[in-house]
Amino acid sequence: MQLISPIRPIRIPDEILSVTDILIVNETELGFLACEKTSIKDISAAAQKIKTHADQILIITLGSKGALVVENDAYLVEGLKVKAIDTVGAGDCFTGVIAAQLAQNKSLREAVEIANKAASICVTRKGAAPSMPHAREIQRNIRD
């Protein structure tokens, strides 16, 4: 399984995008890939536009609004409202937690829910690496 994120200021070559199973981007990155500005109401349509094959999954992070998962259908995994101090590293945290949860055979929905919680912890701290929560902290937060 191949996960890719983030987007650089160049287009992802079709030969890479076509073998990507899960693509994780934020709203801005989605707009870049879809070659259009996206609003919350047309994010799902923009995501469908850039899918290269039917089984491909796109996850669009929406900050405190959560994450939109676009498979055959789209569904929103609700976000958490926290006082964000620094968003640097939040996408890396989110993506890493999803990969770790999927490796533990969690469902995609559950992986995204846990990743949302982890990223919500991450943004309450300064810095990239120092803000990353430990697995025990994420588990404690899930139970709360």
Q: Which sequence positions are flagged as catalytic?
A: 92
C-alpha atoms less than 13 angstroms from C-alpha of 93 in its C-beta half-sphere? 29
- Report residue 24 as tokens: 């994780």
End-to-end CA distance of the chain: 32
How far is Cα 77 from Cα 80, in angstroms, rounded to an integer?
10
Distant-in-sequence contacts of 97-103, Cβ < 8 A, 24+ apart: 97/138, 98/3, 98/22, 98/24, 98/59, 99/3, 100/135, 102/1
Name every residue whose Cβ is closer than 8 Å to that of residue 6 and which is 6 or more positions away in sequence.
Answer: 25, 26, 29, 91
